[in-house]
Amino acid sequence: MNTLAISLGIVGVPQIILIAVIVLLLFGGKKIPELMKGIGSGIKEFKNAAKDDQPANSKKEEETKE
């Protein structure tokens, strides 16, 4: 397990700051809020779809048990 962590590397604060700076340089300050809004709405839609699908799955399981 330790060899896996060593080979993949451990993500620390300096690495996260470096990634944030690269993203800021690539997309610019004005695009980042738009990207986050799009990601947030996508996650929200996914959660709603998963919630709506869950009762349908439980109904199918009940039918197969009978």
Q: How far does CA 6 lie from the centroid of its chain? A: 24
Nearest Cα to Cα of residue 2 among 10, 11, 13: 10
HSE of 45 in the Cβ direction (CA atoms, 13 Å)? 6
Domain ranges of the chain: 2-65
Would you state the pLDDT for residue 53? 74
pTM greater than 0.85: no
pLDDT in tens, 34-63: 888 999 999 999 999 888 876 655 555 555
Distance of alpha carbon 38 from alpha carbon 32, whole angstroms: 10
Would you state the pLDDT for residue 64? 62
Would you state the pLDDT for residue 44? 94
Contact 32, 24 (CB under 8 A): yes
